[in-house]
Amino acid sequence: MTINNPQFITFEGTEGVGKTTAIDNFCCELDKQGISHIRTREPGGSLLAEDLRKILLDNKTHINDDTELLLMFAARADHLHRIILPALAEGKWVICDRFFDSTVAYQGFGRFGGDERELARIERLINDFIPKQPDLTFWLDLDPAIGLERAGKRSQADRFESAGQEFFDKTYQGFLYQYQKNPERIKRINANQSPDGVTDEIMQIFKISQKRLLLL
């Protein structure tokens, strides 16, 4: 399939929602359709951003909330200019595990409790430093308590996963906030089902978006 407009697609959600498996399956579908793409993640994706990721996720890291926020945007700026924008310019689709919706959720709500002034500040950072927004976002929606239980079974908790239930309840509200603000871009996926069910739901939405692209 040839679509002249390469797409930037992101996957979002709290911990343990199944993003990795969903992205695995989605990228397999892109391969079947002959769509050239790269897969990346945040925080991370570029050499510098991966170094910052290690700092941000390390339980030994002790930084204040402002520092965390700015490190997230520093990592994102490098990732965007070194990886995402060049790939799109080459005609490749970009599939990214997290982007700025996670910053609104984790920092804007998880850290700052949804304070309007802090959300406005994050919005200014997005407008000033993020020249490309996702074309389509899949939000894997799952009760944070279930997600944390899943995450706890897969590996030792990182700095964010160790933040506790209250933090993730607030973070969930951040994703809901973003979804309500951007219903055309963000598609809500029921993540409380089998991986195949999640993939089927994602692909149904994706097929609709493809039809729209082919009409452009």
Instruction: Dump pLDDT digits (tens) for 110-160.
Output: 999 999 999 999 999 999 999 999 999 999 999 999 999 888 777 778 899
For residue 185, what is the DSSP state? T
Complete domains list, the chain, with CATH? 8-214 (3.40.50.300)
Mean pLDDT of 202-216: 81
Output phi, psi for 174, to 5 deg.
-65, -40
Instruction: Please tell me the predicted confidence (pLDDT) of residue 162.
Output: 86
Strand ranges, E, within 13-144:
37-41, 93-97, 136-141
CA distances from 136 to 95, 113, 165, 205, 208 (A): 10, 26, 28, 10, 12
Judge whether residue 211 has pLDDT over 90: no
Q: Residue 134: CA atoms inside 13 Å, Cβ hemisphere, count? A: 24
Contact 25, 199 (CB under 8 A): yes
- Two tokens, residue 149: 């239980």
Q: Which two tokens stand for residue 133?
A: 């927004």
DSSP classification of residue 89: H
pLDDT single digits (tens) 176-189: 999 999 999 999 99
For residue 5, name the pLDDT band (cuts at 50, 70, 90): confident
**pLDDT band at residue 190 under the 50/70/90 scheme:** very high
- Tell which residue, 8, 74, 83, has the closest CA to residue 43: 74
pTM of the model: 0.94
Mean pLDDT of 52-75: 97
Token readout for 178 is 């973003």
